[in-house]
Amino acid sequence: MIDTKKRIVVLLGPPGAGKGTQAAYIKERFHIPHISTGEILRDNIDKGTPLGIEANKFMHKGDLVPDDLVFDMLKDRVQQNDCAHGALLDGFPRNDDQAEMFFNMEYVSTNAKVSAILIDIPDEEVIKRLSNRRYCPSCKSIYNLIHKVPKKKVGNAFICDNCGTELIIRDDDKVETIKNRLKVFHNTAGPLIDYFNKKNVLYKVSGMTSLEDVFKQIVKILE
């Protein structure tokens, strides 16, 4: 029997959990597009669509783009041909209201299998991973002093393998900033995780293993 359901995946997890890497793996394995709400916003703004013009009014002032505007852009995006068999959503839904809108979408409510996958890692692991990241301001390469250590070091400074520039710690990888990002994540994601759990579509995978092992856990859920 052929399964005709659309496969819709929502990835959840704190910063540093490896969502970006797993999203790339899922996209390649299951042939579904990775849809980022941030990219949808930028695309609409760049193209000067009516929705993009409206969204830019909020972004220009530093305000959050309203849920219904983001939702309208998402509805347009999933009507494209590459979403016929499903999609991997990144950045939506972000709260209970958006989750309600998400499940009421015709694209989701009609013949779709939703899997909300939480990549679970403790806060101390998030701090460890992100505070060990180093960034090249010239060629944009990213290193990690745990598993992707630069080959060169001058004094206390690490040097980019690619272009020889001194690596830096980005502001969002500083410990105090990481702790604040975690606080924001728990405040916003907690209710959303509960919501998906009540819908019986939440799956937890351990993010404390290798990237390959995390993906194996995800494949078992999606296949």
Let me know if residue 53 belongs to a domain: no
**The two three-digit tokens of residue 105, written as one number:** 């979408």
Identify the CATH number of the domain in which residue 100 sits. Answer: 3.40.50.300
- Alpha carbons within 13 A on the beta-carbon side of 89: 27
Domain count of the chain? Answer: 1
Tell me whether residue 153 is exposed, middle or buried, using C-beta atoms within 10 angstroms of its C-beta: 0 to 12, 13 to 18, 19 or more: exposed
Contacts of range 180-187, beta carbons closer than 8 Å, 24 or more positions apart:
181/14, 181/15, 182/14, 182/15, 182/123, 182/126, 182/127, 185/14, 185/15
For the chain, residues with pLDDT lower than 50 are 1-3
Q: Count how many Cα atoms sit within 13 Å of the Cα of residue 26 in the half-sphere of its side chain.
A: 31
Annotated catalytic sites, by residue?
19, 94, 133, 170, 181
Let me know if residue 209 belongs to a domain: yes
Residue 168 falls within a domain, yes or no?
A: no
The reported pLDDT for the residue numbered 4 is 59
Residue 203 lies in a domain: yes
Residue 118 lies in a domain: yes
In a domain, 207, yes or no: yes
Domain limits for position 196: 6-32+85-122+175-222
Q: What is the pLDDT of residues 95-136, one digit of tens each?
A: 888 999 999 999 999 989 999 999 999 999 999 999 999 999
In a domain, 167, yes or no: no
Could you say which DSSP state residue 3 is in? -
Answer whether residue 210 is part of any domain. Answer: yes
| pTM, to two decimals | 0.83
Strands in 105-144 per DSSP E:
112-120, 133-135, 142-144
Rounded distance between C-alpha atoms, residue 29 and residue 97, angstroms: 31
